[in-house]
Amino acid sequence: MTKKRKEIRRNEFTLRFSFKDPHQLSIIGYITMAADQLIRATAADGGIRAVGVISTRLTEEARQRHKLSYVATAALGRAMSSGLLLASSMKRENSRVNIRIKGNGPMGGLLVDAGLDGTVRGYVDNPDVELPPNAQGKLDVGGAVGHEGYLYVVRDVGYGYPYSSTVELVSGEVGEDVAHYLMTSEQTPSALLVGVFVGQEGVTASGGILLQVMPKAARDEALVATLESRVSELSGFTPLLRSGKTLQEIFQQLLGDLGLVILPEIQMVRFDCKCSFERVLGALKLLGKDELLDMIEKDNGAEATCHFCNEVYHASSDHLMQLINDLHRSTV
């Protein structure tokens, strides 16, 4: 294995100036499980909006790609489910939501990018972090993220000027923090449950539900109280999935007597990253002729790793020389 000389970060890639065997590829496997999906529903004559997502496969893929610890898997899985739930309410094609959490815990932070099209990707700063269980005997996501810090949400609705909001963390448990954002920044009473169950065999349950009281029903204190009571009675989201309940059955349990209407469309969701070798070459080209020549001379090529999906790309000295030639032609 060749030595690594230095790293340069360019957008979502880390460029490592070394050359390795391009045939060393990791194969992502899947555990047999229900398909990842997202469904939408309404209740109380449109006064309640409900969205549910199963993200088990995509969370397992993220775990394998990033070689995540148990608690890092839970944190990223919760955040990816939250991102898909937030993006589901956007209207314009190609709309996306970014969720960045930066806390004072040992995990450092995380970043998730989710789209209305059902695609999501993400990473954590320290994928190796591991902590003892919390007082409830569960994975200590709050301890890993940290109880102090900030949640940043950027909504890109496709008009060229994204909307951004920042709120302080309330617990570091992700779900509570995103619900706090919805209440303070969007001023929408919301209940958000997200969870991940990960064992020795990998992720076996992951997903979440988002219940929001729309403005026309927000003044109905009895309705809001009923919703809060039913959500508080749940022991979490993953126990429902592990017991074999479908999203439709979970909605029926929560909203069945409130005029529940489940929309017929079932949207498939998946882990997906738009990185490519062409984008890597574009990032390398920005380094300029001198740096590219230095990489050829000292490392015989370059290696780039995508932060979002951990895919590794290799550029040979021939690729780098072609970039130099392109730069030369553009200045003539």
Distance between CA 165 and CA 157 in Å, rounded? Answer: 14
3-state secondary structure of 278: helix
Rounded CA Rg of the chain: 22
Residue 195, strand partner residues = 207
**pLDDT value at residue 218:** 73
Helix (H) or strand (E) holding 236: none
**pLDDT value at residue 332:** 56
Tell me which DSSP letter residue 2 carries. P
pTM, to two decimals: 0.86
Strands of the 37-43 sheet, one edge to the other: 190-199, 202-213, 48-54, 37-43, 261-268
Tokens of 36: 């990842």
DSSP 12-80: TEEEE-----TT--------S-PPPEEEEEEETTTTEEEEEEE-HHHHHHHHHHHT--HHHHHHHHHHH
**pLDDT value at residue 158:** 75
DSSP 101-152: EEESSTT-EEEEEEETTSEEEEEES-TT------TTSS--HHHHH-SSEEEE
Domain ranges of the chain: 7-26+274-331, 37-268
Distance between CA 97 and CA 83 in Å, rounded? Answer: 6
Class of domain 7-26+274-331: alpha beta
Distance between CA 225 and CA 218 in Å, rounded? Answer: 10
Length of the chain measured in residues: 332
37-268 fold: Hsp33 domain (3.55.30)
Show pLDDT as tens, one digit a residue, over the chain (332 residues). Answer: 333 444 544 445 555 443 333 333 333 333 345 799 999 999 999 999 999 999 999 999 999 999 999 999 999 999 999 999 999 999 888 899 999 999 999 999 999 999 999 999 999 999 999 999 998 889 999 999 999 999 999 999 877 788 999 999 999 999 999 999 998 988 888 889 999 999 999 999 999 999 998 887 877 888 888 888 888 888 789 999 999 999 999 999 999 999 999 999 999 999 999 999 999 999 999 999 999 999 999 889 998 999 999 999 999 999 999 999 988 887 75
**pLDDT value at residue 168:** 97
